[in-house]
Chains A and B, each alone.
Chain A
Amino acid sequence: SQQGEEDPQALSIQEGENATMNCSYKTSINNLQWYRQNSGRGLVHLILIRSNEREKHSGRLRVTLDTSKKSSSLLITASRAADTASYFCATDRNDYKLSFGAGTTVTVRA
């Protein structure tokens, strides 16, 4: 079974609004990473948060990690049309195998 599962599966928002998506996982992790995938393209690494961190920022991105609930959230503030993509969380259990969820598809309407 997949380690990470994103919620919601799909999200549609107006440009300028914030987008929040969540990721839950099952086993203990070393770190959790978020990736973006534009339609038909490869994955772009967005941010990595380690298991001993609770919150991390990168530009308009804010990631939180709650290891007691085995969950993470990704917030995109002031969304733009270019943020339209699928977003995946990937967990790292201190080995080389990233485990991906099925992703959240975000559509930003102009």
Chain B
Amino acid sequence: NAGVMQNPRHLVRRRGQEARLRCSPMKGHSHVYWYRQLPEEGLKFMVYLQKENIIDESGMPKERFSAEFPKEGPSILRIQQVVRGDSAAYFCASSLARRDTQETQYFGPGTRLLVL
């Protein structure tokens, strides 16, 4: 059973470009979470999605960031008009059921975004 997959693993963008980060959850998992890790810091929650629904996006910046988890295909975190401050590692996690039933979140390897 493959783990959580993220691609690309590394992404370089110039200021003003768009970044698209993909996450395929573990097989059978329908809950996806995105976290951001700035250098020398812990992970910060961004958004929680289920298939075709955004459950909680309270950790997402109000502008330029969006996320989706379509019925078919991976979850996508999209950052428009990237700025240098967006440079970070973005991690996706998935769980079998809703988090508050104490299901473990399994993390992907992350996408490291560098904005030049």
In which size bucket is the chain B interface?
20 to 34
B49-97 residues at the A interface, CB under 8 angstroms? 55-56, 59, 91
**A60 close to B (CB within 8 Å):** no
Q: Are A94 and B42 in contact (CB under 8 A)?
A: no
Question: Who on chain A is nearest to B110 by CB?
Answer: A42
Q: Is the CB of B45 within 8 A of A43?
A: no
Q: Are B105 and A97 in contact, CB atoms less than 8 angstroms apart?
A: no
Q: How many A-B residue pairs have CB under 8 A?
A: 64
Known: A48-B102, A97-B56. A102 touches B108 (CB 8 A): no
User: How far apart are the CA atoms of A102 and B112 in the complex, in Å?
Assistant: 18
How near does chain B come to A28, taking the closest CB pair, in angstroms?
14
Q: Tell whether A88 is near chain B: CB-to-CB under 8 Å.
A: yes
Quote the shortest CB–CB distance from A88 to chain B (angstroms). 6
> In the complex, are the beta carbons of B43 and A88 less than 8 A apart?
yes
> In the complex, which residues of chain B have a beta carbon less than 8 angstroms from the beta carbon of A35?
107
For the complex formed, measure the closest distance between the CB of B88 and the CB atoms of chain A, giving whole angstroms. 13
CA distance A64 to B91 in the complex (A): 27
Q: How far is the CA of A47 from the CA of B97 in the complex (A)?
A: 18
A100 and B33 in contact, given A92-B99, A92-B102 (Cβ under 8 angstroms): no
In angstroms, Cα B60 to Cα A6, docked, is 25
- A41-B109, A100-B44 are known contacts. Are A95 and B100 too (CB-CB below 8 A)? yes
Complex contacts, A96 vs chain B, CB 8 Å: 31, 33, 48, 55-56, 98-100
4 tightest CB-CB pairs across the interface, nearest first? A96-B99, A100-B42, A42-B109, A43-B107
